[in-house]
Chain A
Amino acid sequence: MRRYVLKRLLISVVLLFFVSLIIYTIMRSIPTSYVETQARMLSQLPGAKSYSEWLAQLNETYGMDRGIIPGYFQWLKSAVRGDFGDSWQYNVPVTQKFTEVIWYSFVLGAIAFILEIGIAVPLGILAARKQYSRMDYGITVVALLGISLPVFFFATVLKLVFSVWLGWFPLYGTVGRFYELLDSFGRFLDLARHYFLPVLTLTIIGIGSLMRYTRTNMLEVLNADFIRTARAKGLSEKRVINYHAFRNTLIPLVTILGGSLPGLFAGALITETLFQIQGIGYTAYRAMVSGDIPFTMFYMVFMAVLTILGTLIADILYAVVDPRVRIN
């Protein structure tokens, strides 16, 4: 087991190397507008060096004067030491900006995640128990609807209904105008009001796949021989479902849910952008669109790490939860 994990980690490092190389190459193919703007600005200060001198100096500082490969290794060298440079868009060290915004995303993701589990798992089990019933069809349609909904459209509809027509929730932002004046309970309510619509969006969008996954696995378990045995033994239906079937459904569920734990830090790019929540997704979106190489590099590598961690956790959990699985 330890050897397996070690091997997987080693492969992950190699993967990360190539992923970051590809992303660096793409980022470098953006015309370097930031450096040029910066050089133009600096050269216009009184007593400053000329534009071309500034440009050369800035290019050197950012490693833009070298080819893509040497530039990449320069980036890599400082990145492994934990130094990802200063964000061009936000003018602070990348890691500092990251620690500022990541918790907004985490809270958003975590609430939505818990709600998803709370809604999707029971409904999936219900659908499986009453296969081909009207309830089953209804749940399948809802699940497919959730999968098919374009996030931006759904979020806009929610805004229209709840913010514009009903006026219950604010359109944008994480805190209201008078946040600083409120007491702690008032602040909590204010935050809750701002988080309601984004959480609702994420939950509805994410519910579908989990619901279908639960249903499929539950069906598989319900068709297994040991369930027939349990029923033949004369156990009550309640006990068959809750004790024998559900526990076995948990194996794939725990695996996939454990695998999506790192994803809680990934942020929700579109949702955060539409609701202007200062999370990692929104921050990264603005950085990407403005060609901020340091921040984008960090964000992309961070996302790749999350993906790798997710699969790793899922695989390990699978082995831990289900003793029948043996990895060689």
Chain B
Amino acid sequence: MDKDKMDKDRENRITEYTDIDNGLSDVQRVKVLSPGMLVVRRFLRNRLAIIGFIIILFMFLFSFIGGLITPYDETEVFRYIGSMSKEYVSVTINEEFRFTVAEGMAYDNATHARFILAKNQGESVFTHGGEAFHIIQEAEDFFRVVLSYPKARITYIRGIMGVTPLEDGLSYDEEFQNAIRQAIDGGQTSFIFGDEQYTLSRDGRDYVLGTTQDVAIESLLITDGVSSNKDLGFGFKLESEKALRADDSTSFVFEGNTYQIEEEENVASVYRLTGSGREQFALISPMAVQAVSRDVVLTIEFKTALEKAIADGETKFTYPDDAGNEIVYDINRINNVYTVKTETNTHLISMHEQPSSQHWLGTDKHGMDVLTRLMYGGRISLMIGFIVVLLETALGIIMGGLAGYFGKWVDMLIMRIVDVFFCIPFLPILIILGSVMDKLDVDPQLRIYYLMLILGIMSWPGIARMVRGQILSLREQEFMLAAEATGLSISRRIFKHLIPNVIPQLIVLATLGLGGVILYESTLSFLGLGVKFPFASWGNIISGVSTAYEMTNFWFVWIPAGLLILLTVLGFNFVGDGLRDAFDPKMKR
């Protein structure tokens, strides 16, 4: 009956052909077409199948050839040098006393703490480590700490003063005694006579006069030197600050040089006079300026400009850099700390870059070229699809063939296994296995192989069932009886005579299955349980797009990937459909 129909079909076609061409040779040509050729012809006449075939061909070229052509690598990260507003300098208004120690003297943080205590209690002497330190106030918040060497004992009762030198050979003239008297009357604890600093301290009813040696200065002001001469030394600091704070003079002499002081809003610049003019030498201010990065050296000119800007209450200031470009700095104040930010050049990853001539589909969140990722992703998706389908087909043929041919308990057993597999929910089990691999921290490369294996093992029962059904019906046909009668071996009978008759259905199922596998793989990868970063897959390129912001702004990442999945699966479905029609023309589905 089948044959009749086919013959009729063929006759119809022949008349069609002769009608078109009126040539006898065409009749001959059509007659010699083999059944295989007929299938091909029928396939080629199916427009949808051809479209599907072209789609799949394109996908292969895109993934496998495209990956070779693209100038980029699968996991190549693109960076650019961009400017970022970075913290450059922090400025603190100093509220703590800072000390500078004279050369060769011992004065550490513990001594400093003692000084703070003594100062707060209004005492003029404190002891630390067995030594008595005298505090001499030069100006507000500016102190000298000195060691005192007793030179004379002074008795002073009701205006009558007696000076008893403690060392031999010391004598004090009238002028000096007047100075002492003045100091005692004024309640001072120190005084200057000549060039010497003297201390007066009480000892019972008497006073002790001592000469002094500078140990340290304690001050709220910070003195910075020019970059070529960072360490200004104790002497300079003392002299300059004394001139600025105590004497209120605009110039002073130190070690033979004359210095000028210009003060403006608490910020004082110290210039050294040279033969031709003057040059900036130091900066005295209540602000501590520190660069955030250690490798940045701040010049005193920059500090001066910055501190003046801060003192003027400005929020922005410009200062030329080494190359002479004017750079804008933003000043933000938080309590007593000013942060100065500027646009700094840094290496940045070009994340989610819009499509451009370099990156036709932009870059993804890792800064990788989306188009290249799509190509490599296509490779993985297609490869997984083909390997899984091969695996499931092989398993299905073996199991289905065994069941169908042997029947009885083999059939029973294999079919029950198939039933069990059918009952296991497919997607949930893939998700569970995916999360098992997640927890076991499986290497991404190995994961791909496991994924293929799992998909193959999970999907063979469908093929096995079909093969078994076909074989069961074929087994009863006459040609198998003939094969048995000619004494062919069992394996020959199965693989040479039964299986070839199942091949058409197998090809159709496998083609449709390819689409299914690619869908499952991409779904899993989308959920983050399939192919993992750094490997690309169409599914995992889409994953991570969940918020409205990402959806609208990074469309160039996920829309192409989704379209590729859709097109590929559609292509396989078109081709599978066309093949089914071509193999079995009477069952046009």
Contacts and interface: CB of A to CB of B under 8 A. Distances in A.
A23 B589 CA distance: 37
A213 B409 CA distance: 34
Interface stretch (A14-22, A83-91, A97-105): A14-22
Contacts, number: 135
A23 B429 contact: yes
B573 interface: yes
B435 A159 contact: no
A163 interface: yes
Contacts of B569: 147-148, 150
Interface string B533-558: 00000010010010010011001001
Interface residues of B, number: 47
A163 B420 contact: no
A101 to B, nearest CB: 15
A31 to B, nearest CB: 5
B472 interface: no
Nearest to A151: B523
Contacts of B376: none
Interface string A24-62: 001101110100000000000000000000000000000
Interface string A278-320: 0000001100111100001001100110011000000000000
Interface string B423-463: 11101110111011001100000000000000000000000
Contact of A304 (B425, B523, B561, B587): B425
B436 A29 contact: yes
Given A270-B523, A308-B423, A144 B435 contact: no
B562 interface: yes
Interface residues on A, range: 35 or more
A303 B573 contact: no
A171 B548 contact: yes
A150 B562 contact: yes
A159 B555 CA distance: 13
B526 interface: yes
A148 to B, nearest CB: 4
A307 B588 CA distance: 29
A260 B548 CA distance: 35
Contacts of B425: 266, 300, 303-304, 307
Q: Is the interface of B mostly helix, strand, loop or mixed?
A: helix
A215 interface: yes
Given A26-B436, A150-B523, A156 B558 contact: yes
Nearest to A141: B48
Contact of B439 (A19, A31, A151, A308): A31
A18 B420 contact: yes
Contacts of A304: 423-425
A307 B425 CA distance: 8
Contacts of B420: 15, 18-19, 22
Contact of A159 (B429, B515, B539, B551): B551
A284 B428 CA distance: 9
B478 to A, nearest CB: 25
Interface in A119-176: 131, 137, 140-141, 144-145, 147-153, 156-157, 159-160, 163-165, 171
A46 to B, nearest CB: 31
Interface string B497-536: 0000000000000000001000100110011010000000
A288 B523 contact: no
B574 A144 contact: yes
Given A153-B542, A163-B548, A171-B548, A144 B577 contact: yes
B45 to A, nearest CB: 12
A203 to B, nearest CB: 17
Given A16-B423, A19-B420, A150-B522, 10 more contacts: A22-B420, A141-B48, A150-B569, A152-B527, A156-B542, A159-B548, A269-B431, A284-B428, A304-B423, A308-B423
Interface of A: 11, 14-16, 18-19, 22-23, 26-27, 29-31, 33, 131, 137, 140-141, 144-145, 147-153, 156-157, 159-160, 163-165, 171, 212, 215-216, 219, 266, 269-270, 273, 284-285, 288-291, 296, 299-300, 303-304, 307-308
Closest 9 CB pairs of A and B: A153-B562, A148-B569, A303-B425, A148-B570, A304-B423, A19-B423, A164-B548, A152-B526, A160-B551
Interface of B: 47-48, 416, 419-420, 422-425, 427-429, 431-433, 435-436, 439-440, 515, 519, 522-523, 526-527, 529, 539, 542, 545, 548, 551-552, 555, 558-559, 561-562, 565-566, 569-570, 573-574, 577, 587-589
8 contacts: A30-B436, A148-B570, A150-B562, A152-B539, A153-B561, A216-B589, A270-B527, A289-B431
